[in-house]
Structures are given as C-alpha cells and as structure tokens.
Structure 1
Amino acid sequence: MEATSSRPRSRPPALRWWLAAGLLPIALGGFAALSASGERMDLPEEEEVAFVNDKPVSLERFNRLLAFTAARVTTADGRIPDADALLLKNAIVEKLIDEAVTDAAAKEQGLEVEEKEIDAAYEAFAQSFPTSEAFKQYLERTPDGSTAIRGDIRQRLLRERLAKQDAAGTVSYDEVKRYYESHPGAFHQPQRVSASEVLVLHADDAYARAKELREKVLQGSIAFADAARKFSEGPTRDLGGARVDLTEATLEAHVWKALVELEPGQLTEVLETKEGYSFLLVHEVLPELDLKFEEVQPEIQARLERLYADARLQGLLPELRSKAFIKNLFAERYADLLKDLLKPGTASEHASFSLPSTSSAPEPVPAGPEATATSQQSRPRP
C-alpha cells in the first residue's frame, strides 16, 4: 500500500464538517506510511467495532456514517486517503462509544428525554440559521441529517441532566451565604422604569412627525403599540415598542428625569435623543431596593448548582468512560497504524452540536389602557 502524500490538500465539505465538529483531530500533512498489505482503509467494516458493557455499538450506524462522509470526501481516484479513512473510522467509533456510555448512565439513573423536548431544541437550532434554505443545505451536508442532529440533541440533554443530577444538593448553606456576602452589587436593584418607546430617527421633519404621532396616541385614535409597530424607527418596532426596564445609568439625563416624574399610563413629551425624537409610555416605576438574603437564597442556590453542573459536564464523558467496560475492537485491529497517527494518551475530541442559547426576548407590548397627558409640560427643542 502506498504512503499518502504529506502535502496539504483541500478538504471537501463533508470532511471539513467532521474536522470542525472535532471528529477528526488531525493535521493536513505528515501522514505516516501505512501497511503494504494493499487493504483499503475506506471500505465498510464487516466485524464489530466496539463493545460497551458487553453490548456492541451499532455496526450498521457506523457504516452508514462512514458511507455518507466517504461519498463526499473521495479524491479523484474514488477513494479516501488511507490515513484520513483510518482516523475518520476511529473518530466515528469514539463518538458511538460516547453515546453508549451516556445512554447506559442515563438508563441506570432513570433519565430520559421526551420527544417534545428534542422537537423544541431542534426547532431552535433550525431557527438559528439565516434562512430555511441554509438549514436545508446544512442537513444535506450532515452525516445522517436530521436523525443525527436529533440524536446529538438527545445526547446533549442527557449529559446535561446527568451533570445536573450529580450537582444537585452539593451546594451548602454556607456556600450560598458566602456568595451573597461577596457579591453585594448583584443583589442591589437601582430604581427602574418599565416603559415602551416610539422613536423617529433624525430628519428634517422628525420632530413634527413624532409630535403628531404622540397626539394621535393621546387622543386614542391609535394605540401606542400599533403606533410603534407601524411608525417607530427604533429597534423595538416589531415588538410594539418593547416593554423594557430602564435605569438612570442607561439613559440620557433629561430622558430619565422625564420618566421618573410620570405615573403609570402617562406619556412623556417628545424628547430629543442622540438617535432622534422619541416619546415613551410609562408602565411601572420600580423603587430602588436591596434584596435580602432570604429573598435570593433559592436563586443563588440554583445558580451555584448550575455552575457545579457546568463544571461536572466538562469532565462527564471521561468519568462515564472510566466506569464502563469499553473494548474498542477497531483500535485494537489497527493499533500499529493508529499509534503513528495519534499521540499516545491524547484524548480525542468528539462532536456535539452547540445549540444557541435562548435568552428572554423583550416582552411585546399589547394594546393597553389609554395614555394620559402629563401634568407638567416641558417644551422640547424642535
């Protein structure tokens, strides 16, 4: 068998996916010479590739993942270079072993993931792409497509639960108390005003347009939220002005002064800001306060447990592997070849989809009570 070239070469999209996912931790050049037996490394395996707790990992799935990738990374001679194929196969085996030890640990602890949870996470992942066509193309380039993505979502959720379950109850009262006392700023809430905005960007007629729109809202001919959706030029337009909590530190001084003088349901005058001319609807004025330990103890407890769980998650797979009986038959069969391609003692990194974290979006403003005029009129600059 001929040695593969040490010259770097371009990788087809499917192989680049494996590289980006951490499934193929190899350099592009410097491959060692393989055996001269003439055996092709890129062909399907016919014998079991690994056992976890005396159960074989799926040979059918192994070969399916291999075939999908092989169809997209073959060179001009219709094959994958032997070193690439060997490492690709080994990476697939390691991935399947990770899944097997996760499933075994979850079963032992009675943990499972419902389909509706996978559906929600899959939908969130799909929505993270700029267009549905972009997501479709991603599916086409991903080995096993949506099945693989859903499987990886399930694995991620199981591992998070395993880590969280191990972290539960590990945070003591004293740790919670120490956290509270060492983070005083985290439990101080400045005075806040919950308000929505209609903004007209700077232009020759911006002030006139903003003033006319405010008068229509004031007269009840249009709801504030509808005015925001139809006419506001600010970033919260689609959310009806977006009800958000504002503080003195986040606003221009004259805007903050105008807000704190109002009662819920009142409109500010049209105010000039750095962006343009705006008027705001006050929903609630929230006082400054310092949260007592008893009020935030459950929140701190949960926060610290999440931190412990995150730390546990980092080392979860090595720990699960150490507790399982694993026999990597593939690595044993090709031990002499793999030792030249993988540094001894270096743990392979395995793929896991990193789904976008969700964050609370600003709350859309429904059509609410009619706004009332302010009692104090302060003439804005035209």
Structure 2
Amino acid sequence: MNACMSAERRYGLSALWRVTAWGVLAAGLSVTLAAARPAAAELVDAVIASVDGEPITLVDLERFTAGRARLLPPEERRSRRDILEALIRSRMFAKEFERTGIHAEDEDVEAYIDSRLVQSGSSRADIQMALARMGLTWEDYFERMREEVQRLALINREIRAKVTVSPEEVRRAWKTSPEYETKDRVEIGDIYLPLPDDPAEAQALRGQAREIYELARRGRFGEAARKYSKGPTASAGGHLGVFDVGALSEVFAREVAKLEEGEVSEPFEVDGAIHILKVFKRFPPGRVPLEEVRDEIYEKLYDELLQQRYERWMREDLRRRHHVTVQMDGAPWQAQS
C-alpha cells in the first residue's frame, strides 16, 4: 500500500468512520468510562462463546473489557453481553482478514490517524491524554486503528460495488426535497446617501438625490452610484447582490415590490439615509438547477445507502458466514444481531 495516498480515500468509506473506534476519541476527547471490571483472583476460565469452533472464554472477555473494549462507543458497552458481542465481531473480522489476506501496514494506519486528526482538529497529544485517562497505551490504540483500517478495506470490498444510485433517484430527490427549492429572489443595487445633521444640508441633499435619480433612471445607475453613493458597494456600481425578497427589510421590500427588472426607485429615506434602488433581475420561486447540485445529491444518497448496506452487512451477511454459539452464566442465549 502506498503511504502517500490517504488510507481513507483508498478504502473509500469516509461516511462510515463515525462508527469506528476513532469516533469515540475524536468526538470531543471526553469519554466517560466506568471503571474496568477487575478480574477475580481465581476467575473460572469457562467457555462462554465460540466462533467457528474456536472458544471465547470468560478470561478473554475480562481482558477485552479491561482493554480495547474501552474504545467502543457507549452504546456498544452498556452490558457485558454488549461487550461480548463486540468481541465476537472482532473474532469474525479476524477470520475475514485471514480469508481475504487483508492487512494494513503501519504507514496505512499512520495515514488514517493523520487524516482523522486533521478532520477533528485534534492532535496526537490529545489522543494520548485521553488514552492515559482510560489506562490505555498508544500501542493499544494503534492496533485498534489497524483493525479499523482493515475493517474499512473489507467492507469496501464487500459492499461498495453493491451500492448504486441511479440518475432517476437523483432527479427524484431533487424534485421532492425542500432543500433545493428557491424562494422569490431579486438582484438589486443601492445608491446610499447618508443625511447630514444640518437641516439645510439635508434638504440640499434631498434635491441632489432627485438629480441623481434622474441620471440613474436613464440607464446610468452604475455611473451615478460610483460618483455619488457613500455605500460600501459604490465602486461596484452600487451592486448589492441577490437576496430572498422575504429577507429584505420591510422598507426595502416595499420599494422593490414596485419595480420591474431594470427599473429604479424614487429616492426614499430610512434610518438616516436616502436610498435609490435598482432591480437588476428577478428570480421567481423554483428549484436550484439540477446541474448545480447533481453531484451533491448523488453523494448524499450514496452515503445514506452505503450506511444502510453496511449496517445490514454487519447484522446479517457477516454473521451468516460464521458459526457462532453463545452461552453466558451457564445458560445458552441468542447472540444479538
């Protein structure tokens, strides 16, 4: 594997990283953990489960609980049975790695960790401090990340090719999602003339504003704005941009409502200034052009389907490949799926 290429990109399942052990530390580095259950001095090494005939003993479970299980998300370690299920999954994955020959080299694990550090805005020192609070070492974490990278590689191999999003699905999402609706919008410009405090000067400016208006309405709005406007967009010919009509102030919305495309408002006063508006273009309600959001919609649908397929693969496909028996506290019970 080439360490120069991001392990995340090669394994192609960035949408799934939040369910990995990385997410436990990266989501704030403030994991609250119950104290590790100490192993009894004379713990009976009873067989409590098996994967493809290989036993999992009570001692195995205690060691896992005190070690890597502390990197599990809280919902996966609520009870000893939850932790046993995680240990069973780990054993099944180990067999899948052996079957497929998947192995993550150290440089791949380093690249994966580095990419997550960048994304989370954390540092290795942050991770090491969190590990120390858990009573774990960097080596414990590194090996857990190696398993995570190998899992991503396996899942990528197993499910990615089975996830497809058709052009029809993209178009349907575009047509039905409120996210891509556009409101009534307008592109406007403004000549801004702040009124002086002196009443005589203010009155003189009102007279000048009429002259500026006459210049602007004859097709010379930009020229008038550059010459007379005191607003921040004067050098751009008074161009303010495109706005939802509903987002405009009440006074601006009222004046804009009077204008067709290309028309200029008569001077009006608000908040101690004279304004002269121009409507450059109107955009009626509709939808964002599909061409502008096609890739965004595709990626969103793909990530959703990938997550669903991943969960089904974990719940059903992986389990079917292996013979799992579970017996806890002397009584057989059905392993969670």
TM > 0.5 fold call: no
Name whichever structure is richer in strand by fraction.
2
TM-score by length of 2: 0.42
TM-score by length of 1: 0.38
Name whichever structure is richer in helix by fraction.
2
